[in-house]
Amino acid sequence: MSEMRHECGVAAVYHLPTGDTSPMAPPQGRDETSRLIPHMLLDVQNRGQLSAGVSTYSPHRRQLIETYKDVGTVSEAFRMGHRGKFESLMKRYAGRAAIGHVRYATCGDDDKSNAQPFERHHLQKRKWFAFAFNGQLANYTTLLRQMLADEESHLAHDSDTEIIMHAISQEFSGDRRPKLIDVLRKVAAKFDGAYSLAYLNAAGDMVVARDPLGIKPLCYAKEGPFFAAASESVALLHLGFPASAIRSLPPGQAAIISGGEFRVERFADSPRIAHCFFEWVYFANVASTMDGRSVYVSRTALGEELAKLEDLRKGEDLIVVPVPDTSKAAADAMAFKLGVPSREGLIRNRYVGRTFIEGATSRRRKAEAKYTPLPEVLRGKRVLLVEDSIVRATTLRVLLDRIRLVGGAKEIHVRVASPPIIAPCFYGIDMSTVGELFAPRYLKEGASLEQAQKEMAKDLGADSLRYLPVEAIARAIGFESGQLCQACITRRYPTPAGQELYQIALGKAAEKPTAASRTVRTYESPELLRK
């Protein structure tokens, strides 16, 4: 649903110093490889719309590393609607290597100062770097306390991005000259959480690395002298890399370019993997393939799982309608298996603003304008409304009202292509408290899912509601259950800090909420800071 947001997406490009040329490099030449970043970020725009930025490296300018970032979508931030302004930015920030980022905040404020990449200047080139990351550190507060233990220390930003920046900087302090892979080993030992990061320094070295559990996706490709990496494969496919050349970076490993040489190295053991299952259910571009699993194929399999459970009487008045856009593959597959028509009874208005940052009244109005029900499709029908997930249910309530009142549907049966979300996420999805979630109030200890679904349907104004069981997720995606992070649907977290935060979140949920507590994310709780 539109009410759930991912943290961000990363991208990186590098044209290595060889005599070869690459058909994927820009026609302007090796030193303008950086102009590919905005186009790559457009392909991962689904992962964040609050800000966008780029850091580039060029040995031919005084500012060896230069960073540009702004609030807004990729097109807005890079002025892509104005050719002259866009070209001016591309020329000013031209470089043979670059990293880029799109952001939605789960930690820190929603302003330009928190936009990524972050850059740290230094006299020595090996200590001057920029970096960006996708994910979230579950032990952010612990690391924050440790860094602020010295009274002379101070942090300028309220985000785990700055924590990571200083952790990297500390490894280069004094006369130490560690290898980049050793820096990663040291900081990985301190971090608990999810991170796929891109790093670029003023010596022309680049690193892209993925956390030991592989919670967040990260893909890369290299052909000849040209290297690129991104949160999703579709960004690399659109650069011109063949699908066979695109690989998911294994958990705990890093792709490193140093001294003009490329290599992939392991920096941390991976006792298990825990890929975020929501990447395949909702977040990732439907055209992407991650860790060998197609997003489109996984979503069609989720729809087939829904079809197995369906018991509504068939008839000419029964239709399947997806909530645009991420539910379409599941809805089409469900309809095909049932032998029922799949119809686009809801048309999405792509030019409505982002509802999740508006006030309650404005948010409802935006939600009403976001989807247009088609009476010509819905009137007099029994509608199987397919949704990928329900987080807070605020948008869904509005949508059901409009399908019935504006669309004229006779019945609305909600079918959800995932299990109930019953616990917060502390690894990069913006749902960090139990109280903000829809399902937990119905699924108390010992409550049956069947009875809870009846109560949910009544509360939402639907004729019925059904979720997928937890075991259907692993079947549909094609992983073993233990290879996925499913904490938000099982309450079992893959890291110690995540499990600790959940216990704090449970305690908060049991307290009487106040105006102040409603805006505090679990990992920002005062008791954590006082520990």
User: Strand pairing of 484-485 and 275-276?
Assistant: parallel
> 306 and 261: one domain?
no
Active site residues: 8
> 265 and 400: one domain?
no
CATH number at residue 103: 3.60.20.10
> 420 and 339: one domain?
yes
- Quick one: which of 317, 472, 331, 297 has its CA closest to 415? 331
Rounded CA separation 231/10 (Å): 5
In a domain, 377, yes or no: yes
Ordered DSSP codes for 331-376: HHHHHHHHT--B---EEE-TTS--GGGS-HHHHHHHHHHHEEE-HH
The length of the chain in residues reads: 531
Domain end marker among 273, 305, 324: 273
> 129 and 236: one domain?
yes
DSSP state of 429: B
CATH number at residue 436: 3.40.50.2020
> 79 and 112: one domain?
yes
Three-state secondary structure call for residue 6: strand
> 182 and 315: one domain?
no
- Contact by Cβ (8 Å): 312, 270: no
In a domain, 153, yes or no: yes
User: How many alpha carbons fall within 13 Å on the CB side of residue 488?
Assistant: 28
User: Strand pairing of 253-258 and 206-210?
Assistant: antiparallel
Containing 384, the helix (H) or strand (E) segment is strand 382-387
How many domains is the chain partitioned into structurally?
A: 2
Domain end marker among 245, 273, 301: 273
In a domain, 202, yes or no: yes
For residue 524, the enclosing domain spans 293-530
Q: What is the pTM of this model?
A: 0.90
Domain end marker among 273, 303, 325: 273
SS (H, E, C) 220-272: EEEECCEEEEECCHHHHHCCCCCHHHCEECCCCEEEEEECCEEEEEECCCCCC
> 255 and 305: one domain?
no
Q: What is the chain's pLDDT, residue by residue, as a tens digit (531 residues)?
A: 444 444 689 999 999 987 666 666 676 677 889 999 999 999 999 898 889 999 999 999 999 999 999 999 999 999 999 999 999 999 999 999 999 999 875 454 556 778 899 999 998 999 999 999 999 999 999 999 888 888 787 777 778 889 999 999 999 998 889 999 999 999 999 999 999 999 999 999 999 999 999 999 999 999 999 999 999 999 999 999 999 999 999 999 999 999 999 999 999 999 899 999 999 999 999 999 999 999 999 999 999 999 999 999 999 999 999 999 899 999 999 999 999 999 999 998 876 654 433 444 555 677 778 899 999 999 999 999 999 999 999 889 999 999 999 999 999 999 999 999 999 999 998 888 999 999 999 998 778 999 999 999 999 999 999 999 999 999 999 999 999 999 999 999 999 999 999 999 999 887 766 544 555 567 665 555 555
Rounded CA separation 251/267 (Å): 9
> 98 and 148: one domain?
yes
In a domain, 1, yes or no: no
105 C-beta neighbours (distance < 10 Å), count: 19
In a domain, 282, yes or no: no
In a domain, 53, yes or no: yes
> 160 and 306: one domain?
no
> 116 and 223: one domain?
yes
In a domain, 250, yes or no: yes
In a domain, 166, yes or no: yes
> 406 and 336: one domain?
yes
Read off the tokens for 373: 């029900």
SS (H, E, C) 30-54: HHHHHHHHHHHHHHCHHHCCCEEEE
Containing 286, the helix (H) or strand (E) segment is none
> 263 and 231: one domain?
yes
